């Protein structure tokens, strides 16, 4: 039977959806090896890493400047911590660098930026929207917690805000609640994105499948992945403290390492039977 022009092909194989990615078991040695390879990628192509790390660091400084200019300096800390939620999207350039080095392709900044630009019309663009939405929800939650614990007080300076939150029972309650809330947001975001971004960069699948695969990678390897999440959080915190300067190096190293951990977590598409 021949297919009529303009109609879908009659072959089931031609219209079959891509097989769902298969998640592997990983351990501590895989995390350490991913970190080693991430450092190796950064050392082999430092200018690329510094470029993408610089975009992230400068973006963080710009957001902080906006809070200061808008007179909401009390949002500095939650903004700095929540900004880490956007790291996986900014690190897409680092994933592409690692992918190219792994496959033996030439490194070219224009080509890498072109790959990143094309993601806006692919499923990875929707994944970026998810992380941005979570970030905005986090900032909204902080504002709600401020109102619930401290009322409708306004703070003219960051020092005044610190005095209230560290020297009053209401402030202590706010600190506890905002950190518990932040931990929940961080765990959810980490679970949804830890392999979703590199997976969408490499394969033509929908972003919902990518998020499901990411969650499966965490639930299948809870101790290992939670340890990896803790490593990411601590390194990003350390890199953010000196005015985000450390993120010039921390972000690309984590980005490269995330790519290599993803390659260990998700079975290659051509390995499926």
CB contact at 8 A, 228 and 222: no
Q: Which of 35-44, 77-86, 194-203, 246-255 has the lowest mean pLDDT?
A: 77-86
Q: Residues 149-164: pLDDT tens digits?
A: 988 777 767 778 888 8
Q: What is the mean pLDDT of residues 43-48?
A: 95
Q: Residues 209-230: pLDDT tens digits?
A: 999 999 999 999 999 999 999 9
SS3 for 71-123 is CCHHHHHHHHHHHHHHHHHHCHHHHHHHHHHHHCCCCCHHHHHHHHHHHHHCH
**Residue 13 reports pLDDT greater than 60:** no
The set of residues, in sequence order, having a beta carbon less than 8 Å from that of 172 and lying 6+ positions away, is: 165, 166
Q: Which of 8-22, 95-109, 144-158 has the lowest mean pLDDT?
A: 8-22
Q: Residues 58-103: pLDDT tens digits?
A: 887 887 787 777 777 677 777 777 777 777 878 899 999 999 999 9
Residue scoring higher pLDDT (56 or 77): 56
**Residue 179 reports pLDDT greater than 80:** yes
- Name the token pair of 254: 């984590």
Q: What is the mean pLDDT of residues 28-37?
A: 95
């Amino acid at each position: 039977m021949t297919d009529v022009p303009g109609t879908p092909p009659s072959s089931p194989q031609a219209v079959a959806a891509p097989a769902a990615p298969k998640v592997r078991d990983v351990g501590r040695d895989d995390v350490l090896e991913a970190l080693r390879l991430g450092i190796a990628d950064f050392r082999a192509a430092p200018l690329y890493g510094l470029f993408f790390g610089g975009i992230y660091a400068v973006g963080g400084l710009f957001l902080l400047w906006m809070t200061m200019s808008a007179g909401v300096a009390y949002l500095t800390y939650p903004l700095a911590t929540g900004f880490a939620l956007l790291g996986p999207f900014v690190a897409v350039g680092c994933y592409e660098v690692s992918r190219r080095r792994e496959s033996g392709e030439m490194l070219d900044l224009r080509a890498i930026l072109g790959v990143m630009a094309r993601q806006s019309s692919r499923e990875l663009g929707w994944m970026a929207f998810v992380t941005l939405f979570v970030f905005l929800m986090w900032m909204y939650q902080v504002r709600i917690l401020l109102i619930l614990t401290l009322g409708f007080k306004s703070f003219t300076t960051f020092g005044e805000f610190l005095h209230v939150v560290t020297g009053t029972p209401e402030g202590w309650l706010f600190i506890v609640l905002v950190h518990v809330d932040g931990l929940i947001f961080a765990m959810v975001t980490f679970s949804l994105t830890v392999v979703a971004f590199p997976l969408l960069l490499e394969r033509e699948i929908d972003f919902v499948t990518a998020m499901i695969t990411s969650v499966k990678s965490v639930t299948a390897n809870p101790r290992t992945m939670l340890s990896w999440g803790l490593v990411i959080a601590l390194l990003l915190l350390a890199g953010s403290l000196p005015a985000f300067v450390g993120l010039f190096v921390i972000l690309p190293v984590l980005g490269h390492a995330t790519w290599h951990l993803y390659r260990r977590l998700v079975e290659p598409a051509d390995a499926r039977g």
